[in-house]
Amino acid sequence: MADRRRIRGVWRAAAAGLCLLLVPPLAGCGGRAAADRARAEVQRVLDRRSAALLGHDEAAYGTTGTRSAYVRLRALPLASWTYRVTALHSGGPGATADAELRYRIAGYDSAPVSVRRTLSLSRTAGGGWYVTADKPARKAGEQLWDQGTVTAVKGAHSLVLGAGQNIGDLRGYARLTDRAVPEVSREWGGNWTRRVVVLVPRTLDGMAGLLGSPASSYRGIAAVTTGEAGGAGRAPADRVVVNPEAYAGLGGVGRQVVLTHETTHVATRAHTTDATPLWLSEGYADWIGYLGTGRTPAEAAPELARAVRDDQVPSGLPADKDFGFSGDPTRLAQAYEGGWLACRMIADHWGKARLGAFYRAVGDHEARAGAVEEALKRVLGTTPEAFTSEWRDYVRARLG
């Protein structure tokens, strides 16, 4: 009996402990249900907010939160705009929501752009939710509307979006980009979207904010193109992001070269992969950019020309690391110039069609290793050693 009581006593104690252990999860379940309800409520508010933006209904947009974002966004031609709440953090009477924003620019994006956002919310008098702020998530790049009201100028082949820019300047960007598109298609072919989105922030700092990098990385760089390497319709259209401070220092020819260069990156994106060395992708973009400008090699490649005069012809083609924006500016300039002369040499010696075929063959290779070597052999009938030697002779002859 004593043993039986002891066993029974142990069981009771264990059962009591089990009940105590079950209490917090049950409370958690209730808390989770409340949290799920709040998250669903916030999602519905954001769905209404998105519908109002797409429907150009400022009054309806205002019922979901502050209208400042609407004013900044209303010029953006949107095909889609949706939020997906990924987390909700309560704090007193308000809350903060982590969300994925997916949007698509009508006529330009083949797939939605996806960005992470952080939204601040407060309770309305009726107990609903109200958006008080919508900002980039921590470590996420800014969007152009985060920097001010977006102004849009649509060209024949371009959409130029500016913040803090006058419409006359934006029309200038559109005009040069519209001129670039047929130039690029003439050399590369027409099998690409032939539509380009150009983003023009107010300052260099604005450019850096869009790219999520320090401004020092882009000082002196007139523009860059963002996009997914090897994209073939699954990724949104590339964005040409302008540094207005560096761009303003260029002459008319220089500005056209920059926008034609960046347009080339948009056109060649589907065949620009991890297998493509930067000397080829940047050199090809410069090769098309300089066509028809009348610039001599010495004028287009002044840093490399100086090196040749000093009897310092590079021993080999530029490496990817030579194209780093934050490194030595002279080394960077020589890398671009060397890549341009390599592509110019292929066009001169093998023809423009072979240059395009070579570019595609390298990018379509399954891996970086062997990509250039196989394309040199198959398309140009040469070897890396012979090609490098011929390139050095070409550099010396054109710049010496």
Q: Are residues 288 and 398 in the same domain?
A: yes
Q: 326 pLDDT exceeds 70? A: yes
- pLDDT at position 30 is 57
Q: Are residues 258 and 343 in the same domain?
A: no
User: Which of 81, 107, 140 marks a domain boundary?
Assistant: 140
Q: Are residues 296 and 394 in the same domain?
A: yes
User: Which of 265, 281, 312 marks a domain boundary?
Assistant: 265
- pLDDT at position 109 is 93
Domain that holds residue 224: 144-265
Q: Are residues 280 and 246 in the same domain?
A: no
Helix (H) or strand (E) holding 113: strand 113-123
Helix (H, G, I), strand (E, B) or coil at 226: strand
Q: 3 pLDDT exceeds 60? A: no
Q: Are residues 103 and 206 in the same domain?
A: no
User: Which of 140, 161, 182 marks a domain boundary?
Assistant: 140
Q: How far apart are CA 15 and CA 8, in angstroms?
A: 10
**What CATH number should be reported for the domain holding residue 88?**
3.10.450.50
- Does residue 178 lie within any of the structural domains? yes
Q: Are residues 311 and 245 in the same domain?
A: no
- Does residue 2 lie within any of the structural domains? no
**What CATH number should be reported for the domain holding residue 220?**
3.40.30.160
Q: 2 pLDDT exceeds 70? A: no
Q: Calculate what percentage of the chain has a pLDDT beyond 90.
A: 82
- Does residue 21 lie within any of the structural domains? no
* Structural domain count, the chain: 3
Q: Are residues 258 and 353 in the same domain?
A: no
Structure confidence by residue, pLDDT tens digits, 237-263:
789 999 999 999 999 999 999 999 999
- Does residue 194 lie within any of the structural domains? yes
Q: Are residues 132 and 223 in the same domain?
A: no
Q: Are residues 155 and 221 in the same domain?
A: yes
Q: Across residues 272-277, what is the average pLDDT? A: 96
Structure confidence by residue, pLDDT tens digits, 343-368:
999 999 999 999 999 999 999 999 99
Which residue intervals of the chain are DSSP H helices?
Answer: 2-54, 58-62, 68-73, 167-188, 204-211, 244-248, 252-268, 278-290, 297-300, 302-309, 329-350, 352-363, 371-375, 384-399
Q: Are 96 and 119 in contact (CB under 8 A)?
A: yes
- Does residue 115 lie within any of the structural domains? yes
- Does residue 69 lie within any of the structural domains? yes
Structure confidence by residue, pLDDT tens digits, 142-162:
999 999 999 999 999 999 999
- Does residue 353 lie within any of the structural domains? yes
pLDDT confidence tier of residue 90, bands split at 50, 70 and 90: confident
For residue 154, CA distances in Å to 81, 107, 160, 311, 345 come to 20, 11, 6, 49, 37
- Is residue 363 left, alpha or beta, with left meaning phi > 0 and alpha meaning psi from -120 to 50? alpha
Q: Are residues 96 and 164 in the same domain?
A: no
Enter the pTM of the model.
0.89
Q: Are residues 351 and 285 in the same domain?
A: yes
